[in-house]
Amino acid sequence: MKLLLKSVKILIYSVLLVSACAITVFAHDRIDHGQYQYHWNHNVGQYARLAVRKNVTDLTSADKTAFVKAIKTLKTVIPAGSKLSIYDQFVAIHIGATRLIHNHKGHSNGSVQELAHENAAFFPWHREYIRRFEQALQAVDPNVTLPYWDWTDPKALDVIFNDDFLGSNGQGVTIKIPNQGNFTGGPVPGAFSAANGWVMNPALNIDADTGTSLGTSLVRFLQAPPASDYPLPKKDIERALALNNYSLFRPALEGFISVDEQGKVTPGGFLHNYIHGLVGGVQIDASTRPVKFKGLGTMSNIPSSPYDPVFWLNHANADRLWAQWQENGHKGSDFYPADGQPYGHNLKDLMWPWDGGMSIPKATALGDLLSLLPNFDSKDLVRPIDVLNHRELGYTYETREKETRKEFYLWDKF
């Protein structure tokens, strides 16, 4: 793709703020949020049936309505003892995972690192994270599952960014992009506007450059250059899926590198990362050294990007492609690094926030950070090895199910 960035990352990681009370919605035990309950554990065979995640373009009108209703319910339900809605708690968790301090044996020197991005645990951490979000949705409506956004599907944009689903592009702000023209974006109207109740917590929605609040409105600059090409070429996905080494596959699908047929690695903003920029918008100042870039909208501000509900569709697809890669000869722990990674990223490392308090987020702009952290169940422990098999977590993808049914049909013919 001509306009894919080849020398800079599209996305920004920066000063992080966490404003959360006890985030009990992430515990393994049964949690009561008034009339909403759900239960989570890793027991194999626990689920009577697998939840099936559909391609967003296959959703019925009823599917879309139920998904939006469940999301908006989580945005309005505030658990007892918390100042944050369930949805905002999930946003706060994503923010916290982008900058961690390890305070346990062997890591007591104040080292700070990313857990959710830029290293091996990107896939397992987000698999656990979005599955728990899906279960929170199912506490509202047991028939709701996370749809996925196939980045190669040309119909997906019209389905997703429609008034009957996740709303349109933003409006009211025009930006001029050199040699490209004028492009419009801004606060999103409709069901996900602040006027209709989609009010973002200003203490969580923080500008990645300045540390100042980005306000309360969901913002999009859909398809503003340089992240304007869509759909993504199928060959880009195929090249990533053809990689046999997890240490290459992960950054290629996450989108920090592209690997061509000859094995040449090009840094930039691709695939999952590119979609964040496609929705949120990114500005590039190539006249500076190093090149400066700035996210324009909510999806481009990575720590608080879950405030745009499109986030869940993007990550469901990244998880789907990881599952496809695993089932294509890369199953199990042999295809995930056992050691040699920063803490939290190795096969049997505990991942925050499901680590019994071994690590804490860092947000230097806050005063007493510890007083703002949620209290997690000390028995709520999750490692990458625990989430390598998505079916054991109780869900699968419709594409995989269709392929399985086709295989059975062909076998029966013989």
For position 111, what pLDDT does the model report? 56
- Cα 292–293–296 angle (5° rounding)? 150
- Greatest alpha-carbon pair distance for the chain in Å reads 69
Two tokens, residue 257: 């590198």
Q: What is the DSSP letter of 233?
A: P
For position 367, what pLDDT does the model report? 35
What CA–CA distance (Å, rounded) separates 43 from 59? 30
For position 210, what pLDDT does the model report? 79
In 3D space, the residue among 174, 170, 318, 298 whose CA is nearest the CA of residue 232 turns out to be 318
Q: What domains sit in the chain, N to C, each tagged with a CATH number? A: 1-31+48-397 (1.10.1280.10)
In 3D space, the residue among 407, 262, 261, 243 whose CA is nearest the CA of residue 329 turns out to be 243
What CA–CA distance (Å, rounded) separates 258 from 271? 9
Q: Please check whether residue 268 is in contact with residue 274, taking contact to mean a CB–CB distance below 8 angstroms.
A: no
Q: Which single residue is written with the structure tokens 């959703």?
A: 59
Q: List CB contacts of 193: < 8 A, sequence separation 6 or more.
A: 167, 187, 217, 218
Burial state string for 87-116 with b = 16 or more CB within 10 A and e = fewer than 16: bbbbbbbbbbbbbbbbeeeebeeeeebbbb
Concatenate the DSSP letters of all residues of 50-68 into one string: -EEEPBGGG--HHHHHHHH
How many other C-beta atoms are found inside a 10 Å radius of the C-beta of residue 331?
13
For the CA atoms of the chain, what is the radius of gyration? 20
Q: Please check whether residue 113 is in contact with residue 194, taking contact to mean a CB–CB distance below 8 angstroms.
A: no
What CA–CA distance (Å, rounded) separates 276 from 265? 21
Q: Count how many residues are written for the chain.
A: 414
Burial state string for 220-239 with b = 16 or more CB within 10 A and e = fewer than 16: bbbbbbbbbebebeeebbee
For position 114, what pLDDT does the model report? 84
Mean pLDDT, the chain, rounded, equals: 82
Cis peptide before 231 (omega within 30 of 0): yes
For position 46, what pLDDT does the model report? 54
Q: Which single residue is written with the structure tokens 């000390």?
A: 378
Q: Which segments of the chain have a pLDDT < 70?
A: 1-48, 100-112, 208, 286-292, 362-375, 400-414
- pTM across the whole model: 0.86
For position 400, what pLDDT does the model report? 58
